[in-house]
Structure 1
């Protein structure tokens, strides 16, 4: 099981460790690379990249948008991954709980969305366990799931 899981800022000192994380072949079609996501965050001011650490060591990566679809109060989780050697240890479950607590604490939050490939059964089951409800496919064929946050 996971020990101390934290969400950390991506900085000039740690970005390479997160960029180098790769998923195995059978998972690569499910998510964009961390390197691509870190680059996006440099050019899109509302994109927030975070490193997932376990006991101070890089263990995964996530990226969210403060204004998904340019809607204030709508937070979109665009990337969420645990480094393959660290999968199955509870790190992702703890990191998602931390992220949702962080987003739900935002004063303007109304909606939290996440998207995944419809064939990714593991992702569907994982996100549903946190209360995400599927709302339909987006324009590129990915499933959108959402949590409505009471005002």
Structure 2
């Protein structure tokens, strides 16, 4: 698969906010992409990227340093409903993780997801992410970390 990434900008932000997940997944995503884009604009150490195949944006990822605890985090990772279940998510996650590792000196990457999202748990675990108890867990969030 020839997946690549482009920074979200004035030319593609609308395409990003129009990406959708399956209706039954709505409870797993804390807020729409437009909110993530707003958060990114106020956090200069974060990156927001469209995930592409050819000229088609198929997903969105946002990562950067959480200044609260100086950790590298994958804050958002989503694949549009029309591209789920076809291997694009796995390929895109592999690319995002390689990009994060190549750009930073951190030796771990944190992320969180809804504890009932079995697909997310399987995907992240397949890349070596392990659950981590932080004391900040909630009914809608568990934390995982990848050490490298």
In the superposition, the TM-score normalised over structure 1's length comes to 0.89
Runs of 5+ consecutive residues of structure 1 not aligned to the other structure: none
Aligned to 1:94: 91
Alignment of 1:44 onto 2:49: no
For this pair of structures, how many residues does the alignment match? Answer: 145
Alignment of 1:125 onto 2:109: no
Runs of 5+ consecutive residues of structure 2 not aligned to the other structure: none
Aligned to 2:56: 57
Aligned to 2:18: 20
Deviation of the 1:24 alpha carbon: 2.5
Query: Structure 1 residues 119-128 or 140-149, which shifts more?
Result: 140-149
Are the counterparts in 1 of residues 137 and 143 from structure 2 also a CA contact under 8 Å?
no
Deviation of the 1:128 alpha carbon: 0.1
Partner-residue secondary structure (3-state), 1:136: coil
**Partner of residue 116 from structure 1, selected from 96, 113, 118:** 113
Q: Which runs of 4+ in 1 moved over 6 A?
A: none
Deviation of the 1:138 alpha carbon: 5.2
Are the counterparts in 1 of residues 58 and 83 from structure 2 also a CA contact under 8 Å?
yes
Deviation of the 1:145 alpha carbon: 0.6
Query: Structure 1 residues 34-43 or 136-145, which shifts more?
Result: 136-145
**Partner of residue 28 from structure 2, selected from 30, 36, 40:** 30
In the superposition, the TM-score normalised over structure 2's length comes to 0.90
